[in-house]
Structure 1
Amino acid sequence: MLASAAAVAVAVTAAAPSAQTPATASAGTTAVHARQVKRLVIKNAMVIPGPATPAYGPIDILAEDGVIARMGNSADEHWPAPDAIVDATGKYVMPGIVNTHMHWHEERVGPLPIQYERNLYLASGVTTAREVGGNFEKTKQWRAESAAHTIVAPRIVLYPMLADLLEKNQTFNRTPAEHRALVQRAKDRGADGLKLIGPMDRDQVAATLDEAKKVGLPTTVHIAVGDATARDFVDLGVNCIEHFYGVADAALDGIQDFPPEMNYSNEIHRFGRAGELYIQNNFDHEKLSKLLDDMVAKGVAWSPTMSTYEAARDLVKAQNLPWYKDYLHPSVEDYYQPSMTRHGTFWIGWTATQEAKWRRNYRVWMDALLEFGRKGGTITTGDDAAYLYGSLYGFGVIRELELHEEAGFHPLEVLKHATVDGAKILGLSERLGRVRLGFIADLLVVNGNPLENLRVLNPYGTDLMSYNGQIVSNYSGIVKPGDPNVKMVHGGGIEWTIKDGIPYHVPTLMKEVKDMVNKARTERSRTTSQPQH
């Protein structure tokens, strides 16, 4: 899909050159999808800088050689002539989103084009993606290709799981010495960090984190029900915690009240009981607060991935999201179907009582996250997409932002989680995550104000109120009941995702996604309709 992506010129009639090949354009040329130029100017933008400070503008922004070189008034300050221009009049510009928890998939149930995921992430504003488990060598190759701009994709940060580093047919007895050896292998093979996954015993955790510190690899962890809880990982020096497992376990007086029939290998048991973790009778809030204090003191971040599990609290909603019609690939659609074997597809016989418990679990989880944030903790955003219903690549990231607001954070704080804080835990905070001079030009040009409505970031768009053709707040005092000038319109969406100063036109990306989905559906229909012999 790369050739077709680069061949579409936006707002001009001429075709673009090959994907991301540097090109010389005449001064004042409208930006072209995936065309790299030396100087790109964004004009008349309202700017959301990133660190939870208010928007300001309108101003112009010059990206030169992929870096924010000037901010101000291009005409009054006599800037050099741009090679391409993005008109941001009436739009907001914010930093690109850092997705701190994702996985690249080339198969769900059947093959899945990797460009499908890349397009959806870019269309959702993700300019940096931390993969936390996958095919190590492929992701390493894609990381290099993304950095060289030979593929249309977010910047890639590689945090393999230890299991990703095992040689073919290698025996792994999970001894502390084996954990140390795999950490060293990760370093030697070029990993950016490590993702640990439980259940783990404390001696295994101690060896892994000690070795990671020695070789200079940052760590994050998915804590499962095991010997080591968040208390152990925090005390032993992990850098980040994923999801919610382990945090609540460390706040219990004793252990979770598992019934006798509990089978941890049964996904229905596992996820059903996980939804009761924060509402245990022996949950001790003082213990939780002490853990959160220690996380803040030791600089341990939290990537909660709340959007990942949301189907557990409202399955019917998650099964019927409006963007599925055009953008849900059959391979993912088939994966979502209830199964006793596929990870995260535990919906067989899912009950109203289980959903009610998950909703209560979310409330306490969100309160814990808000408390952590108010104490000064670093919080990031990730989607862990394409396992449970509802969390689709990119769309899950935007829903994650909405859930952070539901937890009690101001939209400015939410966008800080998605940008500044994400860059911080990846060790990129000196050059990424802000709209600031000298920083990498990872920028989103948004149709609307995400501080007023985070849903304008959704690549599907959202419903808005129009008054005499102008978008207005539905709380506007000029709107009166029965006024014929009021209409509901569909709008919003990111117009341009800019990564390293290269503009990607979101409507073009989404058209390509739709074409991929239609092609796959046609092929599936043709295959399934063939007579059986």
Structure 2
Amino acid sequence: MFRIILAALLTITATAASAQAAMEPVPSRGADEGGGPFATLVIRGATMIDGTGAPPEGPVDIVVNGNRISAIARGGASQEVINAATRVIDAQGMYILPGFVDVHGHNGDPSKAPQPSYGYKLWLAHGVTSVRGVPLHFGPGALSDEQRSASNTIVAPRLFPYGVFGTGNGQAYPTTPAEARAWVRWAKGAGFHGVKFFNNASPDVLKAALDEADAQGLGTVAHLGQRGVAQVNARNAVELGLDGVTHFYGHMESLLGDGALVKYPEDYNYLDEQSRFAWVARLADQIVEPGSEEWDAYVDYLVESGVTLSPTFNIYSASRDVMRERNADWHNKYTLPSLMNFYEPSLTNHGSYYHDWSTADEVAWRKFYTPWMRLTNEFKNKGGRVTVGSDPGYIYQTWGFAYIGEFEMLQEAGFAPLEVIQAATMNGADEIYDAKGTPAPFGTIKVGKLADLVIVPENPLANFKTLYGTGHVRLNRETNVRERVGGVRWTIKDGIVYDAHQLLADIEQMVAAKKRTGSD
């Protein structure tokens, strides 16, 4: 018990110290960082996967004027257009997709990665051109970075910061519906695009906040954590007007088979994170049978409500195989030593809960993924919208790489590769823009859309592993030589062409410099 109390006190102290530290300012975009936007950019000869769910088609030439797609020439653009182009990218044999959208991003903890460009460049290097921050920074900086990204004066994806309900305005946490509405109006005035809830509000306060967010054109998403789930589970939150549920929280508590409340073990303590996360997997033992009448009714309700699910399967993947995630290919070159240190077992760092992780814990988590993935897949099959979020910076999940890991896990859950791409592009853009009441200006390859695009040398529908920045090792069966293939070649954001190889080289240099100096 003393260890648990000490851990809680250390966590509070570490959080306070982290809040006092400041993130480094993002350096201005250099003259050699990204080219464009161009008067006319022509991307030639690629096979197009347009994000709508339509099958691949090609070759096509895509013409971009400034930061907008002006033409999609099936069979090729005219020689006149090609000759007049400011830049031509030869993408023959390659694949072109809409820029990816990460709907669950964080990038503001100086103890892990004090320079935000570390995360921004890793996202871009993996084709992510838009990020919804939930929140982006746990402190100042998100709104400034959003503005600088919008003007392309920094190297970063498009940023859509959400405010954390009840924080940031210097006032006490809202405890009445009137205070909740006032906070939401403040968030709108401050420039946030939506509100992230951590399930700390009473149902009447949450309802008022959700209603006001809807009136103000702000999106809403919730992490329905255990401390509030007895009052507001996922079904309750959706009934109150919540737009999106992230992670698994709230779903299993909406499907309990015996009793209204979760049956916690006698020695459970939420502040001991090993206990908290080890026990989560055992929650699946308390739910109704998947496929039962009660199960189907819950899935149907979610679909009919119009809620969006962003499961973030990847962020808990170490729970089922911690050794694999700890030794992932990218850590050596691309994970900062300070970040790797944060990932290691700790009593103070959130998510670093593998204090004494056992075979039984990993087996329980492997079993837990079965109903969680089934719920998500059935929701999708019945018409529900699923988006792709990575929640990077925790539990051995490094920016960019974690996002591609989510692709793989969605496929594991039963999504066809085209469905994964749709979730990562069109669905993510639509989730962000539905609350605004306007069509998403990106997310599909269509004439008039913003030029947010990803060009890759390998067919991602055949193997998502080829999207990792470290590429994919393949044996050449003719030469019996191992070859490393894949990775993103170019990421185009707002008409600006970024060389993904150079972005990764920048990160490699950043990590190497920290290792040489022995600094964080």
TM-score, normalised relative to structure 2:
0.89
What is the CA-CA distance between 1:189 and the residue it aligns to?
0.9
The answer (yes or no) to whether the contact 1:39–1:84 under 8 Å persists in 2 is: yes
What is the CA-CA distance between 1:36 and the residue it aligns to?
3.0
Question: 1:513 aligned to 2:510?
Answer: no
How many Å separate the matches in 2 of 1:405 and 1:209?
A: 32
Q: Paired residue for 1:471?
A: none
The answer (yes or no) to whether the contact 1:248–1:288 under 8 Å persists in 2 is: no
* AA aligned opposite 2:443: G
Q: How does 1:299-310 map to 2 (within 5 A)?
A: 299-310=306-317
Q: How does 1:375-386 map to 2 (within 5 A)?
A: 375-386=382-393
How many Å separate the matches in 2 of 1:174 and 1:392?
A: 36
What is the CA-CA distance between 1:275 and the residue it aligns to?
1.7
Show CA shifts across 1:239-266 (max 9, x none).
1110010011111132222111111122
* AA aligned opposite 1:440: L
How many Å separate the matches in 2 of 1:294 and 1:153?
A: 38
Q: Which of 232, 243, 258 does residue 239 from structure 1 map onto?
A: 243
* AA aligned opposite 1:92: Y
Question: 1:403 aligned to 2:409?
Answer: yes
Question: 1:91 aligned to 2:97?
Answer: no
Q: Paired residue for 2:21?
A: none
How many Å separate the matches in 2 of 1:216 and 1:343?
A: 32
How many Å separate the matches in 2 of 1:437 and 1:467?
A: 41
What is the CA-CA distance between 1:184 and the residue it aligns to?
1.4
Secondary structure of the residue that 2:518 maps to in structure 1? Answer: helix
Q: Paired residue for 2:14?
A: none
How many Å separate the matches in 1 of 2:384 and 2:401?
A: 25
Q: Paired residue for 1:166?
A: 169
Give the stretch that moved more between structures: 330-339 or 78-87.
78-87
Q: Paired residue for 2:321?
A: 314
Percent identity of equivalent pairs: 35
Show CA shifts across 1:403-432 (max 9, x none).
000011110001000001001101175421
How many Å separate the matches in 2 of 1:157 and 1:328?
A: 25
Q: Paired residue for 2:277?
A: 271
The answer (yes or no) to whether the contact 1:94–1:443 under 8 Å persists in 2 is: yes
What is the CA-CA distance between 1:330 and the residue it aligns to?
1.2
Q: Paired residue for 2:469?
A: 459
Q: Which of 455, 461, 472 does residue 445 from structure 1 map onto?
A: 455
The answer (yes or no) to whether the contact 1:247–1:288 under 8 Å persists in 2 is: no
* AA aligned opposite 1:230: A
Q: Paired residue for 2:496?
A: 502
Q: Which of 149, 153, 168 does residue 146 from structure 1 map onto?
A: 149
- Runs of 4+, deviation exceeding 6 Å: 1-5
How many Å separate the matches in 1 of 2:61 and 2:311?
A: 35
What is the CA-CA distance between 1:283 and the residue it aligns to?
5.7
How many Å separate the matches in 1 of 2:516 and 2:145?
A: 29
The answer (yes or no) to whether the contact 2:460–2:466 under 8 Å persists in 1 is: yes
Show CA shifts across 1:6-39 (max 9, x none).
4xxxxxxxxxx365xxxxxxxxxxxxx3443221
Q: Paired residue for 1:122?
A: 124
Question: 1:82 aligned to 2:85?
Answer: yes
The answer (yes or no) to whether the contact 1:240–1:302 under 8 Å persists in 2 is: yes
Secondary structure of the residue that 1:426 maps to in structure 2? Answer: helix
* AA aligned opposite 2:234: A
Q: How does 1:113-262 map to 2 (within 5 A)?
A: 113-133=115-135, 134-135=137-138, 137-167=140-170, 170-172=171-173, 174-225=175-226, 226=228, 227-253=231-257, 254=259, 255-262=261-268
Query: 1:182 and 1:2, CA in 2 relative to 1: closer, same or farther beyond 3 A?
Result: closer
Question: 1:414 aligned to 2:420?
Answer: yes
TM-score, normalised relative to structure 1:
0.87
The answer (yes or no) to whether the contact 1:106–1:113 under 8 Å persists in 2 is: no
Secondary structure of the residue that 1:276 maps to in structure 2? Answer: helix
How many Å separate the matches in 1 of 2:482 and 2:28?
A: 34
Q: How many matched pairs?
A: 483
Give the stretch that moved more between structures: 171-180 or 245-254.
171-180
Whichever structure has more helix as a proportion of its residues is 2
What is the CA-CA distance between 1:210 and the residue it aligns to?
1.7
Query: 1:502 and 1:67, CA in 2 relative to 1: closer, same or farther beyond 3 A?
Result: same
Q: Paired residue for 2:17?
A: none
Show CA shifts across 1:288-322 (max 9, x none).
32222122212100000000000011011111001
* AA aligned opposite 2:56: A
How many Å separate the matches in 2 of 1:371 and 1:329?
A: 38
Secondary structure of the residue that 1:182 maps to in structure 2? Answer: helix
Query: 1:281 and 1:114, CA in 2 relative to 1: closer, same or farther beyond 3 A?
Result: closer
Secondary structure of the residue that 2:77 maps to in structure 1? Answer: coil
Query: 1:179 and 1:327, CA in 2 relative to 1: closer, same or farther beyond 3 A?
Result: same
How many Å separate the matches in 2 of 1:436 and 1:358?
A: 41
The answer (yes or no) to whether the contact 2:27–2:154 under 8 Å persists in 1 is: no
What is the CA-CA distance between 1:2 and the residue it aligns to?
8.0
The answer (yes or no) to whether the contact 2:450–2:494 under 8 Å persists in 1 is: yes
The answer (yes or no) to whether the contact 2:26–2:116 under 8 Å persists in 1 is: no
Q: Paired residue for 2:330?
A: 323
Secondary structure of the residue that 1:210 maps to in structure 2? Answer: helix
* AA aligned opposite 1:432: F
Q: Paired residue for 2:372?
A: 365
Secondary structure of the residue that 1:382 maps to in structure 2? Answer: coil
Query: 1:174 and 1:269, CA in 2 relative to 1: closer, same or farther beyond 3 A?
Result: farther
How many Å separate the matches in 2 of 1:281 and 1:424?
A: 32
Which structure 2 residue ranges, 5 or more long, are not aligned? 1-24
* AA aligned opposite 1:257: K
What is the CA-CA distance between 1:173 and the residue it aligns to?
5.8
Q: Which of 482, 486, 499 does residue 492 from structure 1 map onto?
A: 486
Show CA shifts across 1:438-494 (max 9, x none).
1111110101000100111111111124355xxxxxxxxxxxxxxxx3432101000
Q: How does 1:24-39 map to 2 (within 5 A)?
A: 33-39=34-40
How many Å separate the matches in 2 of 1:77 and 1:38?
A: 15
* AA aligned opposite 1:129: V
